[in-house]
Amino acid sequence: MWPVLLLESCLRNGVYVSVENIFECQSENEQLAVQDGLQLLEFAPQQRPLLEEVLEGLTAEEKSLPAKLHYDQRGSMLFEQICEVDEYYITRTELALMREISGALGDAFGNGCMLIEPGSGASLKTDLLLASMPDPAAYVPVDISRDFLLESATAIADRHDIEVLPVWADFTKGHPIPACEAAVRSRAIYFPGSTVGNFSRSEAASLLRTFGTMIQEQPDDELSGVAGAVVVGFDCKKDQGRMEAAYNDAEGVTAEFNYNVIDRLAGELGVALDRNKFTFRADWVENEGAIVSRLWVDESHSVEMAGTVVTFESGEAIRMEESHKYTPDEFELLAEESGLTMEKIWTDDAGDFAVACLRPLSV
Ligand code: AVI
């Protein structure tokens, strides 16, 4: 098994360093540590104090909470359960599609490709892809949760004979790409799971642009002119009833996934919100092209948070999450606005889910 190196993203004076400046930053902030038998190369990502973010969201005209709050240990477990409920077609449809197309994706990447996975998950889909890649150079999982990252990186290193170089970072901000032992002919980014749908359209465009930059930059001439690829899995627009059912499952697992955020605020931040005063519902919002998950206030009440009194009026809602859906044409347009071109797109027979292979527009 290869040793696992952890590269943490760099932060200087409270500001993330852009992708262009990353290599200068690496030499300044790099740290090497050994933990649990793993070698960790560390840069510390900085996050905004959570309470500040929560207060900002709950005092805005339209109340909202950061969607990332869903993913503590219990929330991640609930998300795994969501993936199994009958109504949530996304996970099983994508997995079946990946079984069909991972060989074609491996061919599209070619030899000596470094696979980068933002928001890594040691998933079966990643296994399929790595197993299909001819002579991959390295696997670079990127995640903001250090523990989860190390766990998944170790699992992948156990299952594949490949150098695994985890990066502890907020992938939305740009981060360093570690150097690896093997010669790298190209880079590919794998962004599955319809995670792109959890960003607004404009955020998704800038994320794709960041990915496009990451696969094209040539920090130390390691890339030899082979076009990199960005592979994105996204959920397609379909019958409204099916989309809404996927987020309002009869067992109430998705509702619990959202109530868990309220419990977290009480437990971790001392924000005394009471889940019993809210009702969960997810609705298709046509002009946003998204399922919007909200907690609706059942009865008016006020809660004090760090010296600020926040009033919740009966009938108003806290916006919890957006899950954007795209037609293949809409996604192609989004890619083009981000400097990428859609080389190929695969969907399942019903057209429920799509995997797009994007390349830089200008190579
Ligand atoms: C992770 N993400 C793509 C899921 C989605 O479909 O938006 C999160 C989720 N929220 C409720 N159900 C699933």
Query: For residue 227, what are the CA distances in angstroms to 62, 74, 114, 217?
Result: 43, 40, 12, 11
Determine, yes or no, domain membership for 221.
Answer: yes
Give me the number of domains the chain comprises. 1
For 340, the domain range is: 1-48+67-249+326-363
Domain-located, residue 296: no
Rounded to an integer, what is the distance from CA 171 to the centroid of its chain? 8
Q: Tell me if 118 is assigned to some domain.
A: yes
Residue 352 lies in a domain: yes
Mind listing the pLDDT tens digit for each residue in 299-348?
A: 999 999 989 999 999 999 999 999 999 999 999 999 999 999 999 999 99
Model confidence pLDDT, tens digit, residues 265-278? 999 998 989 999 99
CATH number for the domain that contains residue 208? 3.40.50.150
With respect to residue 74, please indicate whether it lies within any of the assigned structural domains.
yes
Decide: 195 in ligand 1 pocket, CB within 6 A.
yes
CA nearest neighbour of 45 among 177, 165, 170: 170
- 217 burial (CB, 10 Å; 0-12 / 13-18 / 19+) is middle
Highest mean predicted confidence (pLDDT) among 73-82, 137-146, 192-201, 223-232: 192-201
Q: Is 321 touching ligand 1 by the criterion CB < 6 Å?
A: yes
Encode pLDDT of 217-262 as tens digits: 764 555 566 789 999 999 999 999 999 999 999 999 999 999 999 9
Q: Which two tokens stand for residue 195?
A: 């995670």
pTM over 0.85, yes/no: yes
249 lines ligand 1 (CB under 6 A): no
Q: Is the CB of 106 under 6 A from ligand 1?
A: no
Say what the pLDDT of residue 313 is: 98
Which has the higher per-residue pLDDT, 208 or 34? 208
Q: State the average pLDDT for the chain.
A: 87
Can you give the pLDDT at residue 34? 52
- Residue 112: is its pLDDT beyond 90? yes
Whether residue 341 is contained in a domain is answered as yes
Query: Looking at the domain assignment, is residue 275 inside a domain?
Result: no
Report the pLDDT value the prediction gives residue 24, as an integer from 0 to 100.
31
pLDDT at 12: 32
**234, 321, 324, 355: residue to mutate for ligand 1 pocket, most atoms within 8 A of CB:** 321
- Ligand 1 atom 5 nearest Cα: 323
CA-to-CA separations, 59 to 62, 244, 280, 295, 308, in angstroms, rounded: 8, 28, 20, 15, 9
Taking 70 as the threshold, does the pLDDT of residue 5 lie above it? no
- More confident: 172 or 137: 137
Question: Would residue 140 count as lying in a domain?
Answer: yes
Cβ of residue 194 lying under 6 Å from some atom of ligand 1: yes
Number of other residues whose CB lies within 10 A of the CB of residue 209: 15
Is the distance from the beta carbon of residue 102 to the nearest atom of ligand 1 less than 6 Å? Answer: no
Task: Tell me, rounded to whole angstroms, the distance of Cα 260 from its chain centroid.
Answer: 20
Tokens of 124: 């079966």
Instruction: Give distance in angstroms: CA of 323 to centre of ligand 1.
Output: 6
